[in-house]
Structure 1
Amino acid sequence: MIRGEEQEIINQTINGKVYRCQSCNKIHVDFKNLSFSFNKTEYRNFKEYMKKLDGDYWLQQNERQSGKPKIMIPINHRNLLLSFSKGELIELKNLLSSTQQGRTAFRWVTTRSMDFQLSDN
């Protein structure tokens, strides 16, 4: 884990970060425009839930829905769905899965993951 002044970074991707706040002792998951705060048990349950999600199943279930992200996942709130593209769901799952032996799993930035054109000159 990378230690900062007030946070321990557990894992990080291009669009997200999982870290433990030293002052509140919560585990925070920030991914794109989503932000969650969990205690250890809640975080473990969220990780397991996301790990078991079948993105292809939800793509098929929601193929007739309007809008671009087709993976709309119900959570334990009747008025709220989490909405992801297939790539976003894969990245979130990667963010929530850290490598063994306490090492942080960082995803290297590639030119394919950047949202701009590169010039050959």
Structure 2
Amino acid sequence: MDIKTLHGHIFTCSNCSKIHFEFNQFSMDFSNLDIVKDFKSYINQINAFKEEDKFRNNSYIKKIQIPFPRTSIKMVLSSIDLEELKILISTFVKDYEQELEEKKLLKKLSNIEKKNMN
């Protein structure tokens, strides 16, 4: 699975099976789809206009902040960045789940064929 946008890229690595994610100059790895889905849920609940308004007076150029637990690291985004990020992650999750369903269906069909041949 490999999804790209103008500033982002998320893909499943054929060597390590991790899900690698990069957006602008930020990169991280996810060990499984459930973690990507948690990230998707988190970013989908962010209201860009509220966040930009809340941090309107701070010194950051990009006002939307996504902190990472137990670190001092945070991803800073504009409302346009956030929309692109939401599209990137949502598309990946949808396509990944669809691919999993197709693999399950093919496996079932293969088992049916094996039974019919015997």
* TM-score between the two structures when normalised by the length of structure 2: 0.71
Structure 1 residue 12 displacement after superposition: 1.3
Give 2:46's aligned amino acid.
L
Name which of 77, 89, 114 aligns with 1:84.
77
- The answer to whether residue 1 in structure 2 is matched with residue 13 in structure 1 is no
3-state secondary structure, aligned to 1:60: helix
**Does 1:24 find its partner at 2:16?**
yes
Number of residue-to-residue matches in the alignment? 95
Of stretches 24-33 and 64-73 in structure 1, the one that deviates more from structure 2 is: 64-73
* Divergent runs of 4+, >2 A: 99-103
**Structure richer in helix, relative to its length:** 2
1:93 matched residue in structure 2: 86
The one-letter amino acid of 1:36's match is: M
State the AA in 2 paired with 1:92. Answer: L
Identity among equivalent positions (%) equals: 26
- The root-mean-square deviation of aligned C-alpha atoms, in Å, is 2.0
Contact 2:22 2:28 in 1 (8 A): yes
Q: TM-score, normalised by structure 1?
A: 0.69
Give the C-alpha shift of residue 78 in structure 1.
4.6
Partner of 1:109: none
Partner of 2:53: 60
For structure 2, the 5+ residue unaligned runs are: 100-118
Cα displacement (A) at 1:74: 2.5
Paired with 2:51 and 2:19, the residues of 1 have a C-alpha distance of 27
Report the AA paired with residue 24 of structure 2.
K
1:13: how far off?
0.6
**CA contact 2:26–2:75 (8 Å) conserved in 1:** no
What are structure 1's unaligned runs of at least 5 residues? 1-7, 104-121
The superposition leaves residues 37-76 of structure 1 with CA deviations (integer Å, 9 ceiling, x where unpaired) of 0022221211111122111221121111013111122231
